[in-house]
């Protein structure tokens, strides 16, 4: 850590090894080092848990701190996995919540599912039918939004007693799979504000990790937030995504998770932690199914 006093050793080193003069060293220290130290470093001393002296030369202290951080993260990961397993055992045989909104399996829906799940389907046909289904899923989610009465005057001069959305609706895409829903989303809500989350499962620990997020600044005030991801198996990434929204001020009741495939265990896990949210799904499948939709949709 730098000090507020000019270091004699540094001046000697700069003069001998770097060919600098003493006056230049003092000028740089007074112009840059000391002001930045007082502005950025000194205030942190008051709130720091640990201060390591002797800069980077104190390898023993640095190794102790790094070791403590690694042990803490490892223990946190272990507890998280145990909690997911506990949730899975608790909800394994439970019936689906009434907040699970399953798309009605009409002949048309079953026919489109047949095309989508056929490995011989051409890419252009797969995209076309998945976009159709994603539009239907978003429309199913819209049925649970709040609407206010509104009267309009028709071109024929009649008064029509209709409805309008009570507030703004936004969507959050869980990248990259959730991007498959964007075409269907724009067909239903053309001016919808969108945010993004990048959540990836660690191959080392199996724990979901949040790598990136960008949400609308006023998302907490929106009437509903659609959370988009085409597949959900264990529910780990979905749990983290909803937790991020809640941490940003979004009420649990406003969240509607929209997915194409979902494992029963993952659905029950998610709704056992957030029982007041809604989940719209096309088909309930076996637990822990490998992700494949985004690869087929994007061709890579």
Number of domains in the chain: 2
> Would you say residue 77 lies in a domain?
no
243 and 107 in a common domain: yes
197 and 100 in a common domain: yes
| Per-residue pLDDT tens digits for 150-198 | 999 999 989 999 998 888 999 999 988 888 999 999 999 999 999 999 9
200 and 289 in a common domain: yes
Tell me the chain's radius of gyration from C-alpha atoms.
Answer: 27
Work out the average pLDDT over 78-84.
67
158 and 34 in a common domain: no
Which pLDDT score is estimated for 4? 45
Most confident of 78-87, 128-137, 197-206: 128-137
157 and 24 in a common domain: no
200 and 150 in a common domain: yes
> Would you say residue 81 lies in a domain?
no
| Per-residue pLDDT tens digits for 238-267 | 999 999 999 999 999 999 999 998 888 888
Q: Is 90 exceeded by the pLDDT of residue 114?
A: yes
215 and 104 in a common domain: yes
| Per-residue pLDDT tens digits for 267-299 | 888 988 899 999 999 988 876 677 788 888 887
208 and 133 in a common domain: yes
Which pLDDT score is estimated for 256? 95
pLDDT band at 130 (very low <50, low <70, confident <90, very high): very high
134 and 18 in a common domain: no
> Would you say residue 172 lies in a domain?
yes
Q: What is the CATH number of the domain that holds 136?
A: 3.40.50.2020
CB burial of 108-130 (b: ≥16 within 10 Å; e: otherwise) equals: ebeebbebbeeeebeeeebbebb
Q: How far apart are CA 54 and CA 187, in angstroms?
A: 61
pLDDT band at 3 (very low <50, low <70, confident <90, very high): very low
Work out the average pLDDT over 126-139.
94
Kindly report whether the peptide bond that precedes residue 124 is cis, defined as omega within 30 degrees of 0: no
Q: How far apart are CA 124 and CA 297, in angstroms?
A: 9
Domain that holds residue 208: 96-298
> Would you say residue 49 lies in a domain?
yes
> Would you say residue 272 lies in a domain?
yes
Phi, psi values for residue 162, rounded to 5° = -120, -155
Most confident of 7-21, 123-137, 144-158, 207-221: 123-137
Concatenate the DSSP letters of all residues of the chain into one string. Answer: ---SSPPHHHHHHHHHHS---HHHHHHHIIIIIHHHIIIIIGGGGGT-S----SGGG-HHHHHHHHHHHHHHHHHHHHHHHHHHHHHHHHHTTPPPPTTEEEPP--HHHHHHHHHHH-TTS-HHHHHHHHHHHHHHHHHHHHTTS-EEEEEEE-TTS-EEEEEEESS-EEEEEEETGGGGGHHHHHHH-TT-EEEEEEEEE-TTT--EEEEEEE--TTGGG-SEEEEE-SEESSSHHHHHHHHHHHHTT--GGGEEEEEEEEEHHHHHHHHHHSTTSEEEEEEEE-TTPPP-HHHHHHT-
> Would you say residue 70 lies in a domain?
no
> Would you say residue 140 lies in a domain?
yes
277 and 139 in a common domain: yes
Per-chain mean pLDDT for the chain: 84
Which pLDDT score is estimated for 134? 94
> Would you say residue 1 lies in a domain?
no
Which pLDDT score is estimated for 294? 84
102 and 20 in a common domain: no
Q: How far apart are CA 293 and CA 237, in angstroms?
A: 16
285 and 166 in a common domain: yes
Question: Residues 263, 294: contact at Cβ < 8 Å?
Answer: no
| Per-residue pLDDT tens digits for 199-232 | 887 666 667 788 899 999 999 999 999 999 998 8
Which pLDDT score is estimated for 10? 73
Q: Is 60 exceeded by the pLDDT of residue 124?
A: yes
């Amino acid at each position: 850590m730098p000090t507020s006093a000019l270091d004699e050793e540094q001046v000697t080193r700069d003069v001998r090894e770097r060919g600098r003069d003493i006056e230049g060293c003092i000028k740089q220290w007074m112009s840059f080092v000391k002001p930045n130290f007082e502005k950025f470093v000194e205030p942190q001393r008051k709130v720091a848990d640990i201060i390591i002296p002797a800069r980077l030369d104190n390898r023993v202290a640095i190794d102790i701190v790094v070791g403590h951080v690694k042990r803490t993260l490892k223990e946190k990961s272990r507890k998280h996995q145990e909690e997911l397993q506990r949730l899975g055992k608790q909800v394994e045989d439970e019936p689906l919540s009434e907040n699970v909104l399953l798309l009605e399996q009409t002949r048309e829906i079953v026919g489109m599912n047949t095309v989508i799940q056929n490995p011989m389907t051409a890419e252009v046909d797969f995209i076309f039918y998945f976009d159709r289904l994603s539009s239907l899923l978003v429309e199913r989610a819209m049925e649970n939004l709040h609407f206010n009465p509104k009267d309009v005057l028709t071109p024929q001069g009649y008064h029509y007693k209709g409805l309008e959305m009570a507030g703004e609706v936004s969507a959050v895409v869980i990248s990259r799979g959730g991007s498959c829903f964007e075409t269907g989303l724009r067909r239903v809500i053309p001016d919808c504000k969108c945010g993004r989350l990048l959540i990836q499962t660690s191959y080392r620990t199996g724990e979901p990790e949040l790598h990136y997020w960008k949400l609308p600044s006023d998302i907490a005030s929106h009437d509903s937030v659609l959370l988009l991801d085409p597949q959900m198996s264990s529910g780990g990434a979905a749990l983290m995504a909803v937790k991020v929204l809640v941490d940003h001020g979004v009420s649990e009741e406003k969240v509607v998770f929209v997915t194409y495939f979902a494992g029963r265990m993952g659905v029950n896990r998610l709704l056992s932690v957030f029982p007041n949210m809604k989940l719209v799904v096309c088909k309930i499948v076996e637990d822990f199914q490998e992700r494949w939709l985004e690869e087929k949709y994007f061709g890579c």
